[in-house]
Amino acid sequence: MIKSELVQIIAGRNPHLYQRDVETIVNAIFDEITQALCEGNRVELRGFGAFSVKNRPPRAGRNPRTGQAVNVEEKWVPFFRTGKELRERLNDG
């Protein structure tokens, strides 16, 4: 599912809302999650899961094409851990 499909589904389930308003709401939610992660905060959506940021330290890597050693810089990556309710729904159905 892509974001535009999500907006269409939500707008379809809530006919009293305009699609452009639903799109604004979805964008605002994603922007807030992104902003919180950029600040190093954790975002938890009960029953769904938790978003956090993990640090990947610098390391020596290899260029897969040439096999030459390269230095991979430190980076921060987003991480998602599923919630208990989501795992149960996936495994029951």
- At 16-52, the pLDDT tens digits run 999 999 999 999 999 999 999 999 999 999 999 999 9
Domain ranges within the chain, ordered by starting residue: 1-41, 42-93
The two tokens of residue 52 are: 């956090």
Count CA within 13 A, CB hemisphere, residue 77. 9
Residue-level pLDDT at 38? 96
Is pLDDT at 93 greater than 70 in this prediction? no
Q: What pTM does this model have?
A: 0.80
- Other residues' Cβ atoms within 10 Å of the Cβ of residue 7: 19
Q: What is the dihedral of CA 64, 70, 71, 75, to 10 degrees?
A: -30
Q: What percent of the chain has a predicted confidence (pLDDT) above 90?
A: 98
The two tokens of residue 72 are: 């991979």
CA distance 15 to 49: 28
Residue-level pLDDT at 26? 96
Which CATH superfamily includes the segment(s) 42-93?
A: IHF-like DNA-binding proteins (4.10.520.10)
